[in-house]
Amino acid sequence: MQSAMFSLEGRTALVTGASSGIGRVLALGLAGAGARIVALARRADRLADLVAEITAQGGSAIAAQADVTDPDSIERALDAAEAAFGTVDVVISNAGVTDARNFLKIDAAARDAVMDTNFRGVWNVGQAAARRMVAAKRPGSIINVASVLGLAVQPGLASYCASKGAVIQLTRSMAIDLMQHGIRVNALAPGWFKTELNDAFFESPAGLERIARMPARRLGTLDELVGPVILLASDAGSFMNGSVVVVDGALDALLA
């Protein structure tokens, strides 16, 4: 019975930023829990590889090339998802970018580029998917990938910290507004995990020094995010709504 609570059999999960890093690993993990996967990203070639891997493991998946900053492309992706699997009822808003520069050195265009993907992209995907869940009278779970830096800050990441803080507040607002429709909305706040966005930094002397100052003395491994996401997506997390689930090896406790 406990294992059934974590099952995603019969559900369709849309994962943005699925072509690499956190999104790719979460798509594979959700497929392993039984979900049908709609893998969304801008890089179609990598999506094809992910879909092939899920299919080879006995799962079901389609690729949906889209840009989270483009509402029309999101609608087309949701159309494709519905044609293949029906209404999307699990959403993982993971697409994100960063810009490691001091506040004084960030121009308006660079600031807006981070906010467009990290904040507006989460808004666009969540709103479009939620409207379809409501129209289909189908409950669901939306998980917005924020960051520990939406709760605390580190120098030289002003745009990123601001965008992830906005995602956390958006998540809480969505949870309140969508609760009446049976749609739960939670945020995942990872600490430092090695991905394509930061691998060069964490291999540098400055990056290695930062790792040495972390409570865990290591970066997280991406598969350590799968369990928390399955909890939030499944019936096991049925009373979790408006939560911010921090997965960071106690980094937030140190920064706070």
* pLDDT tens digits, one per residue of 160-211: 999 999 999 999 999 999 999 999 999 999 999 988 777 888 999 999 999 9
**Whole-number Å distance between alpha carbons of 234 and 256:** 30
Residue 187, classed as helix, strand or coil, is strand
Q: Is residue 160 flagged as an active site residue?
A: yes
User: Measured between alpha carbons, how far is 87 from 132 in angstroms, rounded to an integer?
Assistant: 7
| Least confident window among 44-48, 72-76, 195-199, 250-254 | 195-199
Tokens of 38: 């709609």
What's the rounded Cα separation, in Å, for the pair 92 and 98? 18
Averaged pLDDT score across all residues of the chain: 95
Q: Look up the pTM and report it.
A: 0.96
* 52 has a pLDDT exceeding 80: yes
Check whether 1 has a pLDDT greater than 70. no
Average pLDDT over residues 152-158: 93
**Percent of residues, the chain, with pLDDT higher than 70:** 98
**Confidence grade of residue 254 (pLDDT, cut at 50, 70, 90):** confident
Looking at residue 2, its pLDDT comes to 62
Annotation: CATH topology of 2-255: Rossmann fold (3.40.50)
189 exposed, middle or buried (CB, 10 Å; 0-12, 13-18, 19+)? buried
pLDDT at residue 232, as a whole number: 98
Q: For 112-140, what is each residue's pLDDT tens digit?
A: 999 999 999 999 999 999 999 999 999 99
**Where on the phi/psi map is residue 33: left (φ > 0), alpha (ψ -120 to 50), or beta?**
alpha
Over residues 4-17, the pLDDT tens digits come to 999 999 999 999 99
pLDDT, mean of residues 205-234? 96
User: Strand order in 140-145's β-sheet?
Assistant: 61-65, 36-41, 12-16, 90-93, 140-145, 183-190, 244-247
Catalytic residue among 85, 160, 192, 193: 160
Residue % of the chain over a pLDDT of 90: 90
The answer to whether the beta carbons of residues 34 and 11 sit under 8 Å apart is yes
Q: How far apart are the first and last CA of the chain?
A: 38
